[in-house]
Amino acid sequence: MAKQQVPVQEGLFTWPSDSPRLIGRREKKTGRVYFPAIHHYVADEDSEEVLLNTRGKLWTWTIQGFLPKNPPYKGPETVETFKPYGVGYIELPGEVIVESRLTVADPGKLKIGMEMELTIIPFREDENGNEVITYAFKPVEG
């Protein structure tokens, strides 16, 4: 039986879905978009939920070179198995710049301005044997 997939946080992205989207919130008065929507406790008449673009441009990036401390990190790696991972901000045109893990961790393959797209990745296994998933951005092929 396939493992059950559980989002790391309810309301971060649409799930289950064949074409998942990040969930943001737009303030009606200013037009400003926030992410994630769950973080912004705003009256319904003042704001609306928006499903964000799945493609954007890499705004900046880094590579996490050491195993983060637990807490708060809950990744499955140990000091021995840890592999650096990419982190960046992706500018979603006309909406907002979102922070995300990247599927690439090679400085030679990351360039500010390159096209990126949303993907969902397995992150860890929880205590019930479920696969915890989160969002990430990957370079657009071609």
Partner 1 sequence: MSDVCIIGIGIHKFGRTDGVSGRQQGAYAVRQALKDCSLEWEDMQFAFGGSAAAGNADSLVNELGLTGIQFVNVSNGCATGGSALLSAYTAIKSGQYDVGVAVGFDKHPRGAFNADPKASGLETWYGETGLMLTTQFFGMKIQKYMHDHGLSPETLGLVAQKAFRNGSLNPNAWRRDPVELDTIMHSDMLSHPLTKYMFCSPAEGGVALILASEKVARRYTNRPVFLRAVTMKTRHYGSFEVFSPYLALQRAPAPTVFASKAAYEMAGLGPEDMDVIQIQDTESGAEIMHMAENGFCKDGEQEKLLREGATEINGRMPMNTDGGCLANGEPIGASGLRQVYEVVAQLRGECGDRQVPGNPKTGYTHVYGAPGLSACTILQN
Residues forming contacts to partner 1 in the complex (CB under 8 A) are 8-9, 12, 24, 32-36, 38-39, 59-66, 68-69, 71-75, 85, 87-89, 91, 94-101, 107, 112, 123, 134
CA atoms within 13 A on the CB side of 4: 7
d(CA 44, CA 103): 35
Comparing CB distances to partner 1, the nearer of 61 and 142 is 61
Write down the least CB distance from residue 67 to partner 1, Å.
9
Comparing CB distances to partner 1, the nearer of 16 and 142 is 16
Write down the least CB distance from residue 125 to partner 1, Å.
13
Write down the least CB distance from residue 95 to partner 1, Å.
7
d(CA 70, CA 136): 21
Write down the least CB distance from residue 45 to partner 1, Å.
22
Comparing CB distances to partner 1, the nearer of 1 and 105 is 105
Comparing CB distances to partner 1, the nearer of 95 and 118 is 95
DSSP letter for each residue of 19-81: S--BEEEEETTT--EESSGGG----TTTEEEEEPPSEEEEEEEEEE-SPPPTTT---S--TTT
Match 């997939």 to its residue by tokens: 5
